[in-house]
Amino acid sequence: MYFADKLKKEREKRGWSQEVFAEKIYVSRQSVSKWETGKNYPSIEIIISLSDLFNITTDELLRGEYIMSKVRSTLLVIASALVLVSFFVTDSMPVLIGVVAGLIGIATWGYSSKEVTKIVKANLNFKS
C-alpha cells in the first residue's frame, strides 16, 4: 500500500485536487482515485512520468526511502570496513582514493544529482 499513500501525499503536498493532478498526467480522476486507494496501479510509462513530475526516483515512489536508506546503510558499513582494511593493508593512495570514491557512490545511490547537491549543501553548510 506504500505506493498509494506516497502518491496521495505527493499530490496533496503540491495542493492539487485529484482532478487537477489527473489533467497534468492525462488520465481520468477515477484512475487517480483507484491508484490512491490501492485498487489499481498505473502503467510503467505513467510511473516514470509521475517520478519526473514529483522529482523523485521511481524507487522512492514505488518502494520508499525507508528501504533505500536501509540498503544504503548496509552498503556503507561494508564499504567503510573495506576502507579501514585497505588503509592498513596497502600503502597505495590510488586504492584508498578508489575505495573512498566507491563510498561516495554508495552513499548517493538512488538519488538524482539535484538531490545529491541539495544533501551535500545541507550537510556541509554550503551557501548558494
Instruction: Show pLDDT as tens, one digit a residue, over the chain (128 residues).
Output: 578 988 999 999 999 999 999 999 999 999 999 999 989 999 999 999 999 999 988 878 887 655 556 666 677 777 777 777 766 776 777 777 777 777 777 666 666 666 666 666 665 665 55
Q: Using alpha carbons only, what angle is made at residue 97 by residues 94 and 99, rounded to the nearest 5 degrees?
A: 110
Count of CB atoms situated within 10 Å of the CB of 78: 11
Residue 102: all three cell numbers together: 566507491
Q: Please check whether residues 53 and 6 belong to one and the same domain.
A: yes
Q: Please check whether residues 31 and 57 belong to one and the same domain.
A: yes
Q: Please check whether residues 81 and 55 belong to one and the same domain.
A: no
Q: Please check whether residues 69 and 22 belong to one and the same domain.
A: no
**Domain count within the chain:** 2
Range of the domain at 18: 2-62
pTM of the predicted protein model:
0.52
